[in-house]
Amino acid sequence: MAPSGAAAGYRPSSTLPFVAEFRRQASRRRTQLALAFMVLLPLIILIAFQFESGDDDNGRGEFGSLVSFATSGGLNFTLFTIFVSASFLLVVVVALFCGDTVASEASWGSLRYLLAVPVPRARLLAVKLLVALTYSALALVLLAGTALLIGTLRYGWSPLRSTVAAQLEPGEGLLRLLAVLGYLAVVLLVVAGLAFLLSVTTDAALGAVGGAVLLWILSSILDQITALGAIRSFLPTHYSTAWLGLLSTPVQTDDLVRGAISAISYATLFWGLAFWRFTRKDITS
Amino acid sequence: MRSPLPVAWIRRALPTRRRAVTAGVVVVLLAGAVAWAVWPQGPKFRSEAAMLTVRSGPTGDEPVDLDTTLYLPEGASAADRVPAVLLAHGFGGTKESVRSDAEDFAERGYAVLTWTARGFGRSGGQIHLDHPDYEVRDAQRLLDWLAARPEIATDADGDPRVGVVGGSYGGALALLLAAQDQRVDAIVPMITWNDLPRSFLPESTGAESTQGVFKKGWAGLFFGGGGNVGSGPAGFSGDIAAQPEGAPEAAGPPSPGPGAGPGTAPSSAPAGAADPSCGRFAADICAAYLRIATTGRADQAAVDLLRRSSPAGVLDRITAPTLLVQGEADTLFPLGEADANARGIAATGTPVRVAWFTGGHDGGAGPQTDSDRVRYLTAQWLDHYVKGEGNAPGDDFTWSRIAGFDAMDRGLVATGYRTADYPGIAGTSRRDVAVGGPAQRIANPPNGNPAAISSVPFAGALSALLDGVAGDLPGQHARFESEPLDEAVDVVGSPTVSIRAASPTGEAVLFVKLYDVDPNGASALPNGLVAPIRLTGLPAEIGAAQPVTVTLPAIVRRFETGHRLRVVLATSDQAYATPAEPTVYTVATGDAAVALPTVTGEQIPTTAVIWRWVLVGLLAAIAVGLVLVVAVLRRRHRRQDTSVHPAYADTPLAVRQLRKEYADGFVAVSEVDFEVHPGQVVGLLGPNGAGKTTTLRVLMGLTQPTAGEIYVFGHRLVPGSPVLSRIGALVEGPGFLPHLSGLENLKAYWRATGRPAADAHFEQALEIAGLGSSVHRRVRKYSHGMRQRLAIAQAMLGLPELLVLDEPTDGLDPPQIAEMRRVLQRYATGGRAVLVSSHLLAEVEQTCTHAVVVNKGRIVASGPVEDIVGESPSVLVEVSDPVAARTVLGGLDGVRVLDDSDGNLVVDTNGTARSEVVAELVRAGIGVDRVVPRRRLEDAFLALVGETSRGSGDR
């Protein structure tokens, strides 16, 4: 018998394996629907573009041009898809994966059985967080991948165009696109952190997901109020559009770096709080 | 009367209050941080406004009132003298236009004197365009005044320690003042002219200004006085577009008259100058303008007049170190003006430094990085040459190029570059690109209408957007294009173009432009800059035309690989006056390729570098922090007490003095002690809310106990103890993933344990669950009882040595309950143990070998069920006459009547046979309806639960 007195075959470090949690989540309808929508959205956009009447009235600001360039090639189509999804859809999806993961177990009552296995609390959180992040990344990749695939099939493999800079050769454009995805992933860590923190604080999955999205929207609204001045740069959403700087030549990295610092700081803070809270709290659900 | 309610309320409120305090502290801290961030800093300077009367003019005796403000930094006094900055505003501005810059300098420790130049605002006098006898002499008198102030540091008596800073109109004043007055210690002229005739009458083949093409758009704006003329980098002299006070109103409808406009000084303007066509302009300037604007040509007298106001002729007299800042987006005073100033001043050995930024008269202050750079350079320059602090700034050349739009605020973003030596506008090296195309015939429109638009004065940052807007009109322009570039060219300086032209009149006015054409055909005219040329002596046929070299305005632009150069020759431009007669010219390329000057520079690192390191540091800190946390946890884990309590080594469960007090003060369990031994089925019996579930929660590691210990096989149990793996549990109802089937749920659960699948014994568990084929249906569709059975099966997975079941029969029907009893009893054999909690007495009685009765968080009875449940010495007697019966029984030796309700007596027979008791009652003529033996458990239960809730434990 082990000195810890555990049952034969039990090791704390092998409880709730990543694969097991991945399968748990994969079996859920909301996971399947969310991922399916990531594939569906580019298709819907593509079909919507087929109805284009040629009446170009997309000239809102310098980046409105992303719309007019959307059909110029697969890369631009992907960029457009990301552009329209980044501000809300991806936020909701990430909040869903990260906010739902612990809270839903709590609401089903299965959380206490996992803890009674026992899965060490820190391990439970770590695995759940990793799986949630994996699904978030998967959603991002699916969205971009599908858009790139069908966009290229439909509009061809053309250089990446935008009004902010010279057009980029497809190879370079693809790299920029990947960088955009990478930055977006970093920014969304804030949502992931916030949703996860709420997820361990409440038993209501909807509360965690909705709360994270609401706070994100609140931060976005505050960011619109220029009177707040320098305070705005401390808002988690302040640098959420800085990825547009990746489209210019040379690449504007200033805001990217600051955005990454902001996002990583917030995510670390939120996750730290989540772990601190969850490893101490009484599970009453 | 004191009710318990307020006490309970206070108890509940207390932790909330604690939370409120925490929240309050957080809010206060946040509010403090916000306030600290936005709180306006108290000024570190004071200011004195005064109307000074100075004497100037050719003879130095014409008085004029100047509206001045002196900013003195905190602590400036006769004992602690400070250097001064004379800060001049741009055309059309007043001293208020430069206030924020003045405040900046004051905060840097300079006394700053700002004034409204003569002819503007509340100052008196007329506009002489920085005339050496008027505006420049005014400034000299201000230097005298500064020298007399006790707070101002001086080099000698009457010689203040002073730098002169200004943009546009103020920049030229700085140059002219430094040339005329050697007391000036350093100057920073920005976006200003070298030669005023050339600025307003440019001719790009090098002809005299009398041949120049009149820049009517800008000239009209100046003369009309509207708008914000002379916005400089870092805001120097800018920002008064909405403040037209005192601006000349010549172009306006019947105005109150010059000098009497709103805010003008009432008396200083000579009444004789009241000419509605001249506004506050001096008569000679006004007359020259009217002549030029009428004909579109300048006569020598007008050129001489303008040249008097130009630094070009006096640069060799400037000894004050000069920092020249010029804007790239400037169709009024292009980069060439600063270049001419730089060369002129440097020729005499005076230190000169040149900086270009992406703003200018068209581009405004430029992006933040540019403003910051100009501010830094200015401060560095003044600090060294005026204040005497810091190292010599050196003479390296910095410039910047628009890199794109800022993704965040939609502004422009510029990348800064640096090189050791100022290369001038010819660059350090040259790249030739041939352009070609057939000779083309182009028409000069009568009266220059319609005209192409190349730039819009005051478009501000928008001018960069106009790059692509530039409209060349069909039939009025010719295009000559190059092949796509095989590599990108970074142009820094003035490109030159060679062209040929023929005209039936022998003369032609043309506008030469160099476009950047991308592979999709979109073209951009860098900063809207055009080179006007006036060619004379032209042949009528193109074949006879001689090539002429046109020097285009200096630009900073990267022509990307694959882009083409396009030289456009146009006959009209809205910004310029063109010949009124319609003519058709023939134009062709000349004998030379387009020469593109280039400069190699290193990129100026921005704050981004610091942020990058911050990011790296942050990531490193997180990594280190993570490693530390994990290490500390491991260490703590290793130090954790893994010893086995010898007394309980073979006891599946020992609970010792367990207490759980919730955060809201509610004591769920005050003291609970019990043990579960192998082979036992222990019932934890108690009414709802007795603390059973809380005890089990602590037992499962879901809740931290306030005090007391739990030992499982001698291992002390804390949340997450490995020994929990030997316990199977059903606590507070089933918990399943509703979208999975029963079997999948069990498998998913077992996968989460990480233990070998063979150890699970699914078959046995499923048999116990008895769900049949329903095990493949989704749990969502299960009835309560099915879930309950599945949960018991899950608890039994792996056949744990201790099975803990919370209300296991909840939701089961009687046959299933009976079956469950058998299962549990069978389970407890072979060294295993079962702990069952229930509020049903009968269940415990029938299922358990031992029972622990809890109420209100305390144990009230425990022991083998037979002991507890066995025959009690008391009986329940139902009689017809309880009062009489009581008397009878009271007479019996040792018999006590314990209770009496509804005609029922509970009688402690205390060894007396029941038959005897009945016989006594009957003998006394009391009818006995019923005699029920009572059992101890029931007694105990009734005693603790109270008769009022009999139903909960007795059935």
Reported ipTM: the value is: 0.89
Q: What is the pLDDT of residue B941?
A: 65
DSSP designation for B48: E
Contacts of A7 in chain B (CB under 8 A): 725-726, 755, 798, 800-801
Provide the shortest C-alpha distance from residue B577 to chain A (in Å): 33
Strands B162-167 and B928-935, by their bridges, are unpaired
Share the mean pLDDT of chain B.
82
| Rg value, chain A, Cα | 21
Which tokens sit at A1? 């018998």
Pairwise CB contact (< 8 Å): A243 & B701? no
Pairwise CB contact (< 8 Å): A29 & B726? no
**Closest by alpha carbon to B94, among B53, B123, B71, B54?**
B123
Q: Is B740 on the interface with A (CB under 8 A)?
A: yes
Q: What is the pLDDT of residue B950?
A: 38
Pairwise CB contact (< 8 Å): B644 & A20? no
C-alpha pair distances (Å), B84 with each of A127, B68, B113, B138: 66, 14, 7, 17
What pLDDT digit, counting tens, does each position of B656-714 carry? 889 988 888 888 888 888 999 998 899 988 887 788 888 888 888 888 888 998 998 88
> How far is it, in rounded angstroms, from Cα B645 to Cα B717?
11
* Higher-scoring residue by pLDDT: B197, B256: B197
Minimal Cα distance from B641: which residue of A? A4
Contacts of A283 in chain B (CB under 8 A): 697, 702-703
**Looking at chain B from residue 436 to 495, which residues have their Cβ under 8 Å from any Cβ of chain A?**
none
> How far is it, in rounded angstroms, from Cα B789 to Cα B772?
12
> How far is it, in rounded angstroms, from Cα B794 to Cα B245?
87
User: Which amino acid type is present at position B697?
Assistant: R
Which tokens sit at B509? 């006015």
Q: What is the pLDDT of residue B261?
A: 35
Pairwise CB contact (< 8 Å): A23 & B615? no
Q: What is the pLDDT of residue B243?
A: 32
Q: Is residue A283 part of a domain?
A: no
Pairwise CB contact (< 8 Å): B404 & A242? no
Residue B551 class from Cβ within 10 Å (0-12 exposed, 13-18 middle, 19+ buried)? buried
Q: Is the pLDDT of residue B246 over 70?
A: no
CB A263 within 8 A of CB A184: no
CB B711 within 8 A of CB B646: no
What pLDDT digit, counting tens, does each position of A168-181 carry? 788 888 999 999 99
Q: Is residue A52 part of a domain?
A: no
A152 contact partners, CB below 8 Å, separation of at least 6: A73, A74, A75, A77
Provide the shortest C-alpha distance from residue A5 to chain B (in Å): 5
Strands B111-115 and B802-806, by their bridges, are unpaired
Contacts of B703 in chain A (CB under 8 A): 282-284
- What 3-state DSSP class applies to B283? helix
Pairwise CB contact (< 8 Å): B701 & A115? yes
Q: Which domain holds residue A67?
A: 17-46+58-278
* Higher-scoring residue by pLDDT: A137, B237: A137
Contacts of A253 in chain B (CB under 8 A): 608, 612
Contacts of B726 in chain A (CB under 8 A): 5-7
Q: Is the pLDDT of residue B405 over 70?
A: no
Q: What is the pLDDT of residue B636?
A: 84
**Closest by alpha carbon to B368, among B379, B355, B358, B377?**
B358
- What 3-state DSSP class applies to B366? coil
Nearest to A116 among B700, B736, B754 (CB): B700
* pLDDT tier, B457 (very low <50, low <70, confident <90, very high otherwise): low
Bridge partners (DSSP) of residue A150 are: none
Q: What is the pLDDT of residue B634?
A: 86
Q: Is residue A216 part of a domain?
A: yes
CB B602 within 8 A of CB B417: yes
Q: How many residues does chain A have?
A: 285
Minimal Cα distance from B700: which residue of A? A116
Nearest to B724 among A118, A258, A265 (CB): A118
Contacts of A27 in chain B (CB under 8 A): 737, 739-740, 744, 748
Q: Is residue A167 part of a domain?
A: yes
> How far is it, in rounded angstroms, from Cα B378 to Cα B376?
5
Q: Is the pLDDT of residue B590 over 80?
A: yes
What pLDDT digit, counting tens, does each position of A88-120 carry? 999 999 999 999 999 999 999 899 999 988 899
CB B407 within 8 A of CB A238: no
Residue A55 class from Cβ within 10 Å (0-12 exposed, 13-18 middle, 19+ buried)? exposed
How large a percentage of chain B has pLDDT more than 70? Answer: 86
Bridge partners (DSSP) of residue B47 are: B71
B627 contact partners, CB below 8 Å, separation of at least 6: none
Q: Is B619 on the interface with A (CB under 8 A)?
A: yes
Interface test with chain A among B755, B782, B792, by most A beta carbons within 10 Å: B755
3-state secondary structure chain A: CCCCCCCCCCCHHHCCCHHHHHHHHHCCHHHHHHHHHHHHHHHHHHHHHHCCCCCCCCCCCHHHHHHHHHHHCHHHHHHHHHHHHHCCHHHHHHHHHHHHHHHHHHHHCHHHHHHCCCCCHHHHHHHHHHHHHHHHHHHHHHHHHHHHHHHHHHHCCCCEEECCEEEECHHHHHHHHHHHHHHHHHHHHHHHHHHHHHHHHCCCHHHHHHHHHHHHHHHHHHHHCHHHHHHHHHCCCCCCCHHHHHHCCCCCCHHHHHHHHHHHHHHHHHHHHHHHHHCCCCCCC
What pLDDT digit, counting tens, does each position of B38-78 carry? 666 666 888 899 999 999 988 888 999 999 999 999 888 88
Q: Is B732 on the interface with A (CB under 8 A)?
A: yes
* Higher-scoring residue by pLDDT: A83, B949: A83
Bridge partners (DSSP) of residue B162 are: B84, B184
Q: Is the pLDDT of residue B733 over 50?
A: yes
Pairwise CB contact (< 8 Å): A116 & B740? no
Nearest to B753 among A10, A122, A161 (CB): A10
What pLDDT digit, counting tens, does each position of B791-812 carry? 999 999 988 999 999 888 888 8
* pLDDT tier, A22 (very low <50, low <70, confident <90, very high otherwise): very high
Contacts of B408 in chain A (CB under 8 A): 238-239, 241-242, 245, 255
> How far is it, in rounded angstroms, from Cα B803 to Cα B734?
15
Nearest to B408 among A7, A230, A239 (CB): A239
* pLDDT tier, B868 (very low <50, low <70, confident <90, very high otherwise): confident
Nearest to B798 among A7, A29, A161 (CB): A7
Q: What is the pLDDT of residue B18?
A: 62
> How far is it, in rounded angstroms, from Cα B124 to Cα B593?
54
* pLDDT tier, B247 (very low <50, low <70, confident <90, very high otherwise): very low
Q: What is the pLDDT of residue B566?
A: 93
* Higher-scoring residue by pLDDT: B949, A134: A134
User: Which amino acid type is present at position B836?
Assistant: V
Overall domain count for chain A: 1
What pLDDT digit, counting tens, does each position of A204-217 carry? 889 999 999 999 99
Q: Is residue A197 part of a domain?
A: yes
Pairwise CB contact (< 8 Å): A167 & B615? no
Q: Is residue A6 part of a domain?
A: no
Interface test with chain A among B408, B730, B741, B794, by most A beta carbons within 10 Å: B408
What pLDDT digit, counting tens, does each position of A263-278 carry? 999 999 999 999 999 9
Provide the shortest C-alpha distance from residue B787 to chain A (in Å): 12
Pairwise CB contact (< 8 Å): A113 & B520? no
Contacts of B700 in chain A (CB under 8 A): 112, 115-116
User: Which amino acid type is present at position A275?
Assistant: F
Mean pLDDT to the nearest integer, B329-333: 90
Pairwise CB contact (< 8 Å): B724 & A243? no
> How far is it, in rounded angstroms, from Cα B778 to Cα A44?
33
Contacts of B520 in chain A (CB under 8 A): 161, 167
**Closest by alpha carbon to B342, among B461, B187, B208?**
B187
Q: Is the pLDDT of residue B648 over 60?
A: yes
Nearest to A27 among B714, B739, B752 (CB): B739
Q: Is the pLDDT of residue B86 over 80?
A: yes
Q: Is residue A4 part of a domain?
A: no
CB A163 within 8 A of CB B412: no
Pairwise CB contact (< 8 Å): A245 & B404? yes
Mean pLDDT to the nearest integer, B375-396: 90
Provide the shortest C-alpha distance from residue B471 to chain A (in Å): 18
Pairwise CB contact (< 8 Å): B732 & A61? no
Per-residue burial over A267-283, b = 16 or more CB atoms within 10 Å of its CB, e = otherwise: bbebbbbbbeebbeeeb
B697: left (phi over 0), alpha (psi -120 to 50) or beta: alpha
Contacts of A265 in chain B (CB under 8 A): 618
Nearest to A258 among B611, B619, B715 (CB): B611
Q: What is the pLDDT of residue A213?
A: 94
DSSP string computed for B752-808:
HHT--GGGG-HHHHHHHHT-GGGGGSBGGG--HHHHHHHHHHHHHTT--SEEEEEST
Interface test with chain A among B34, B406, B726, by most A beta carbons within 10 Å: B406
Contacts of B37 in chain A (CB under 8 A): 229-231
